[in-house]
Amino acid sequence: MTSGRSVRVQLLRLLLPPITALMAAGAMIAYYPSIEPARAAYDQALIDVGVALGERIRFDNAAYELDLPGAAERVLRTDRYDQIYFRVLAPDGKAIAGDPGLAPPPARAVPKEGVAAYDDLYQGNEVRVVAVLVPCEGKVCTVQVAETTVKRKRLVRDIVLSSLVPTLLIAIATLIIVWFGVKRGLAPLDRLSEQIKERSPRDLRPIEVGLVPAEAKPMVGALNDLLGQVADANSNQQRFLANAAHQLRTPLAGLQAHTELALALPVPDACRAELEQVHLATVRTARLANQLLALARAEPGGTQEAGLEVLDLRRIVEGVADEWVHRALARDIDLGFDLAEARVRGNEFLLREALANLVHNALEYTPAGGHVTVRTGIRPRADGAQAVLEVDDDGPGIPPDQRAQVLQRFYRVPGTAGVGSGLGLAIVAEIAGSHGASLEIGEAAGGRGCRVTLIFPVASA
């Protein structure tokens, strides 16, 4: 089968030609057995006329003549559709009566049982002619009876209409039945395709094979094996990231504590500068380890549906507000809150991590004296309300052509100041996806800065 060809089209191409051929053969089989008896009946009618005319031949005064009253001849020639011609020949071939222009039987018209039938032209018209050999005074006379072919052509047309047209209608009906039959037969495959397309990259559950056609079960089984292998690979990757991040956190925390203690002691200025660099690097590395751990938990398979609960975004923000207020004050940034109840179904640890990354980014890139605002609430929509978590800042913002790329891991906008790793928004995007939420990046109020919005389905209380 050619790559990319539709199975439905392939089945139709395999089924329709033989069906069409069978119907055409059936029409031909029905046509010929119908047309031949009808033609024979028309020929027989001409033969009967010839025999009747032969009985009217008389031999008188050493000459042959046809005893046919004018009224009888008019009846003979009267026909609704065709013109009737006749000619009577004496035993010596001399014309006795009839239409003189009617040619004698050709050599190819060999009589069988005293009758020869053939096609000819008369006065520019196609005619069917029968030549009947009749006895006359111990000899043989010939009576030719010709008829135009109007009735015969009408007969052919009627037979075609009565046999081929129904066959054509049956062919069309068969095409429709085959089309819908194939469509219905492939419906389970279409449903399977839709089921697979509706899945997110996080859904690696095996496909249910109960309603899958027997022919597709090997394919679904192979796909389930592949999904299992991908799930195992993801699980191994998550465990590796989580274990690596966890193993790094303890020594990094110790290193950070020791550098802070060293900085609290009276040390030479040159050593202090080096210690400060070590301290900053340790803080960045510790944050990277925490981000890797959060990323492992946010990836497909890292959070199970059973671990989700109904949470209030406002309460989550209030729980970490003091920590971020102190960091904002240390950077001379006005951190404000506009909070309203917004219930969502989620994992509290991951939602805290998403909030932490958003606020950290806003504080990192907002200059001193700037403003950062965190909002939660319900956004009404025509198709249903949405819960939102927004973080605004009046920093440099993210150019529109970079907003899709900043969601990639380890990507940073070229020329951006700061010491970030490029994981913050990627983690937020993963957490949003694991909660069925969407992430939007735009401009803050006034057309400057950046606004990052997480939009969640509203959870029932």
79-83, 282-286, 380-384, range with greatest mean pLDDT: 79-83
The residue-averaged pLDDT of 81-91 equals 91
The residue-averaged pLDDT of 90-101 equals 87
Q: Cα separation of 282 and 249, whole Å?
A: 10
Q: Cα separation of 33 and 285, whole Å?
A: 94
Residues with Cβ within 8 Å of residue 189, at least 6 apart in sequence: 7, 213, 216
Helix spans in 265-312 (H) = 269-298
In a domain, 287, yes or no: yes
Same domain, 83 and 29: yes
Instruction: Calculate the alpha carbon distances from 129 to 74, 135, 329 in Å.
Output: 19, 19, 119
Task: Indicate the length of the chain as a whole number.
Answer: 461
- Domain closes at, from 96, 121, 156: 156
3-class SS of residue 62: coil
**In this structure, are residues 272 and 263 in contact, taking their beta carbons and an 8 Å threshold?**
yes
- Domain closes at, from 253, 282, 302: 302
Report residue 113: phi and psi, to 5°.
Answer: 55, 40
Q: What confidence tens digit (pLDDT) does each residue in 159-215 have?
A: 777 777 777 787 788 878 877 887 787 777 777 777 777 776 666 778 877 767 777
CATH code, domain carrying 55: 3.30.450
Same domain, 294 and 318: no
Q: Rounded to 10 degrees, what is the CA torsion of 40, 46, 52, 58?
A: -130
CATH code, domain carrying 364: 3.30.565.10
Q: Using the predicted structure, report yes or no on whether residue 302 has a pLDDT greater than 60.
A: no
Same domain, 333 and 284: no
- Confidence (pTM): 0.50
Q: What confidence tens digit (pLDDT) does each residue in 348-358 have?
A: 888 988 898 89
In a domain, 170, yes or no: no
Same domain, 122 and 233: no
pLDDT of residue 130: 92
Same domain, 295 and 322: no
**In this structure, are residues 245 and 289 in contact, taking their beta carbons and an 8 Å threshold?**
yes
Which has more confidence, 395 or 164?
395
In a domain, 313, yes or no: yes
Same domain, 147 and 27: yes
Same domain, 309 and 296: no
Same domain, 142 and 260: no
Annotate 100-148 with DSSP letters as a single string: TTSPPPPTT---BTTEEEEEEEETTEEEEEEEEEEEETTEEEEEEEEEE
Q: Using the predicted structure, report yes or no on whether residue 389 has a pLDDT greater than 90.
A: yes
Which of 441, 429, 433, 427 has its CA nearest to residue 457? 433
In a domain, 421, yes or no: yes
- Domain closes at, from 238, 268, 302: 302
Report residue 375: phi and psi, to 5°.
Answer: -125, 145
Q: Cα separation of 456 and 348, whole Å?
A: 14
Q: What confidence tens digit (pLDDT) does each residue in 213-224 have?
A: 777 788 888 888
Same domain, 310 and 453: yes
Q: Cα separation of 420 and 410, whole Å?
A: 9
Give the count of domains, the chain: 3
107 by Cβ neighbours in 10 Å (0-12 / 13-18 / 19+) ranks as exposed
Instruction: Calculate the alpha carbon distances from 443 to 61, 79, 340 in Å.
Output: 127, 95, 22
CATH code, domain carrying 239: 1.10.287.130
In a domain, 124, yes or no: yes
Enter the tokens of residue 228. 């299992």
pLDDT of residue 1: 42
Q: Backbone dihedral region of 99: left (phi > 0), alpha (psi from -120 to 50 degrees) or beta?
A: beta
Same domain, 426 and 318: yes
The residue-averaged pLDDT of 453-460 equals 88
Residues with Cβ within 8 Å of residue 301, at least 6 apart in sequence: 202, 204, 231, 234, 235, 238
In a domain, 194, yes or no: no
Same domain, 54 and 97: yes
Same domain, 55 and 68: yes
Q: Cα separation of 113 and 319, whole Å?
A: 118
Question: Residue 364 sits in which domain range?
Answer: 305-457
In a domain, 123, yes or no: yes
170 by Cβ neighbours in 10 Å (0-12 / 13-18 / 19+) ranks as middle
In a domain, 70, yes or no: yes
